[in-house]
């Protein structure tokens, strides 16, 4: 069972590592680190990144993978010798592959042409089998998410003992973050920060964390962040290179009412912030983190009183060495990384999506 312990064990005044029975018990015990140099506003407001990239497989999605598998076992949907089938842009698939490895399940992940090479290699290294939907399955905006989900459903129906968690539609996808990630934030702040910035795709994190904070700390502002071009916030759809954020449809776990602010961040700004985080803060993080940090900085500048903000970092940057951090790939995509001065201006110019647009589902 997953156990969260907010205090490190102390022995002779030194923190000690816990002795864990398997790798899934290491989930969730991640550092929270302040941003200092990326933007002058960090001297006035206090922005903290919760480094979920420090989970054993490098992302926050291992937490809901572990939770959903445990729930499926309890409900008899998954039994020894069973197969887990899921559509994933990578991180949730890696989470399932890790849990599957520890519990002896076969894991099949449906990916598409946008899935970065490193993600594919990681999935395969953890023992997952990959099924790729062809480019011909893309919709008009280039998204293959719906096709991937249909393929996962088809595989789950045809393989005896297979279970399809369907992270995009499963209401329990939020619960791990309500029970677990939200409480970690509460423990770290001995209460609640002024605002929490959360990336949105399946809305698992947004749904779970906002439910906890709206109930216990309604004054905490919830900031949702998506990639420009995605369908979730009701803004115009267009192709984007970001993986992790965004969807071609509005997921059932997305409730616009929980949002106090929403930001759509384009690839260039998100990737530029990623480069700046690595070079100025010493943190090599995933593409969605660039969007989340840009949005939180843009939001902070609207306040004169110092704000304490918690930003959820979903994953590590090494998955993106062939893409976001690869100059040749960026050139091929016609994406030019902003220099520091232009980055600060672009963040200043980033406006929230009007909430009346977001709530029109
Ligand atoms: C890198 C990254 N960022 C953000 C998200 C969005 O998380 P959620 O699905 O909980 O909305 C995901 C989801 O897969 C992700 O992989």
Tell me how far the alpha carbon of residue 231 lies from the centroid of ligand 1, in angstroms: 15
Residue of 252, 288, 312, 323 to mutate, ligand 1, most atoms within 8 A of C-beta? 288
CA angle 287, 64, 24 (to 5 degrees): 100
Rounded-to-integer distance, Cα 168 and Cα 78, Å:
19
Which residue's CA is the nearest one to ligand 1's atom 15? Answer: 244
Domains of the chain: 23-55+172-354 (3.40.50.1100), 61-169 (3.40.50.1100)
Rounded-to-integer distance, Cα 154 and Cα 132, Å: 13
Q: Quick one: which atom of ligand 1 is closest to the CA of 203?
A: 11
Task: Give the Å distance between the CA of 185 and the centre of ligand 1.
Answer: 18
User: For position 29, what pLDDT does the model report?
Assistant: 82
What mean pLDDT is reported for the chain? 94
**Mean pLDDT, residues 164-185:** 95
In the predicted structure, residue 5 carries a pLDDT above the cut 60: no
Q: Which neighbouring-strand residues pair with 112?
A: 133
* pTM of the predicted model as reported, rounded to 2 decimal places: 0.94
Q: What is the pLDDT of residue 8?
A: 55
Mutation test of ligand 1: which of 68, 91, 199, 205 has the most ligand atoms closer than 8 Å to its C-beta? 199
Q: Whose CA is nearest to atom 16 of ligand 1?
A: 244
Report the share of the chain in percent with pLDDT over 90. Answer: 89
Q: From the CA of 13, how far away is ligand 1's center (Å)?
A: 37
3-class secondary structure, 155: helix
Binding-site residues, ligand 1, Cβ < 6 A = 61, 89, 91-92, 199-206, 244-245, 286, 288, 314-315
Nearest atom of ligand 1 to the alpha carbon of 200: 11
**Mean pLDDT, to the nearest integer, of 142-148?**
91
- 103-131 per-position pLDDT tens digit: 999 999 999 988 888 999 999 999 999 99
The tokens for 347 are 């963040």
pLDDT of residue 157: 97
202, 146, 149, 150: which is closest to 176 by C-alpha?
A: 202
Centroid of ligand 1 to alpha carbon of 272 (angstroms): 19
Confidence band for 1, pLDDT divided at 50, 70 and 90: very low
For the cut 60, the answer to whether the pLDDT of residue 296 exceeds it is yes
Q: How far is the CA of 202 from the centre of ligand 1 (A)?
A: 7
Q: What is the pLDDT of residue 359?
A: 73
Q: How many CB atoms lie within 10 A of CB 156?
A: 19
pLDDT grade for 184, boundaries at 50, 70 and 90: very high
Mean predicted confidence (pLDDT) in 37-65: 97
- Identify whether the C-beta of residue 91 lies closer than 8 Å to the C-beta of residue 244: yes
Pocket test for ligand 1, best of 91, 231, 252, 277 (most atoms within 8 A of CB): 91
Q: What angle do CA 92, 68, 193 make, to 5 degrees?
A: 75
**pLDDT mean over 280-303:** 98
Cβ neighbours of residue 290 closer than 8 Å, sequence gap 6 or more: 265, 269, 270, 271, 272, 273, 274, 277, 324
The CA 141 to ligand 1 mean position distance, Å, reads 20
Q: Kindly tell me if the per-residue pLDDT of 12 is higher than 90.
A: no
Given a cut of 50, whether residue 256 has pLDDT beyond it is: yes
Report H helices in the chain: 61-74, 91-103, 117-125, 145-158, 175-176, 182-189, 204-216, 267-276, 287-300, 327-332, 340-348, 355-358
Q: Whose CA is nearest to atom 12 of ligand 1?
A: 244
pLDDT of residue 89: 79
Checking if the pLDDT of 331 tops 50, the result is yes
Question: How many Å lie between the centroid of ligand 1 and the Cα of residue 79?
Answer: 27
Strands ordered across the beta sheet of 32-34: 32-34, 46-51, 308-313, 195-199, 221-227, 261-265
Choose which residue among 49, 201, 287, 289 to substitute to test ligand 1 binding: the one with the highest number of ligand atoms within 8 A of its C-beta. Answer: 201
The pLDDT of residue 361 is above 80: no
Let me know if 171 is exposed, middle or buried by CB neighbors in 10 A (0-12, 13-18, 19+): exposed
pLDDT digits (tens, 9 = 90+) for 53-104: 999 999 999 999 999 999 999 999 999 999 999 999 789 999 999 999 999 9
pLDDT band at 14 (very low <50, low <70, confident <90, very high): confident
What is the predicted pLDDT for the residue at 103?
96
Task: Round the CA-based radius of gyration of the chain to a whole number and report it.
Answer: 19
3-state secondary structure of 141: coil
């Amino acid at each position: 069972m997953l156990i969260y312990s907010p205090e490190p064990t102390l022995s002779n005044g030194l923190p000690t590592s816990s002795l864990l029975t398997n790798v899934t018990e290491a989930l969730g015990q991640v550092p929270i680190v302040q941003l200092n140099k990326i933007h002058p506003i960090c001297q006035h407001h206090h922005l903290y990144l919760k480094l979920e990239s420090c989970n054993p497989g490098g992302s926050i999605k291992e937490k809901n993978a572990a939770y959903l598998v445990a729930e499926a076992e309890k409900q008899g949907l998954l039994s020894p010798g069973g197969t887990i089938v899921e559509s994933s842009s990578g991180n949730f698939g890696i989470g399932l592959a890790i849990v599957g490895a520890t519990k002896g399940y076969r894991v099949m992940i449906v990916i598409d042409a946008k899935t970065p090479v490193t993600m594919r290699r990681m999935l395969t290294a953890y023992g997952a089998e990959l099924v790729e939907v062809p480019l011909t399955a893309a919709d008009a905006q280039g998204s293959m998410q719906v096709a991937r989900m249909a393929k996962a459903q088809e595989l789950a129906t045809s393989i005896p003992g297979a279970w399809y968690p369907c992270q995009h539609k499963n209401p329990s996808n939020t619960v791990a973050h309500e029970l677990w990630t939200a409480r970690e934030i509460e423990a770290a702040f001995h209460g609640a920060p002024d605002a929490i910035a959360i990336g949105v795709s399946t809305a698992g994190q947004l749904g779970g964390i906002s439910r906890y904070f709206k109930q216990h700390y309604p004054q905490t502002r919830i900031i949702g962040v998506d990639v420009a071009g995605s369908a979730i916030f009701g803004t115009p759809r267009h192709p984007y290179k970001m993986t992790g954020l965004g969807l071609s449809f509005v997921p059932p776990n997305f409730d616009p009412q929980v949002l106090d602010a929403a930001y759509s961040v384009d690839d260039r700004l998100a990737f530029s912030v990623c480069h700046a985080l690595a070079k100025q803060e010493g943190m090599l993080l995933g593409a969605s983190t660039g969007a989340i940090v840009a949005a939180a900085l843009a939001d902070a500048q609207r306040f004169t009183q110092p704000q304490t903000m918690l930003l959820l970092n979903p994953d590590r940057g090494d998955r993106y060495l062939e893409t976001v951090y690869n100059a040749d790939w960026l050139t091929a995509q016609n994406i030019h990384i902003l220099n520091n001065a232009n980055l600060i201006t672009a963040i200043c110019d980033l406006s929230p999506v009007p909430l009346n647009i977001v709530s029109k589902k």
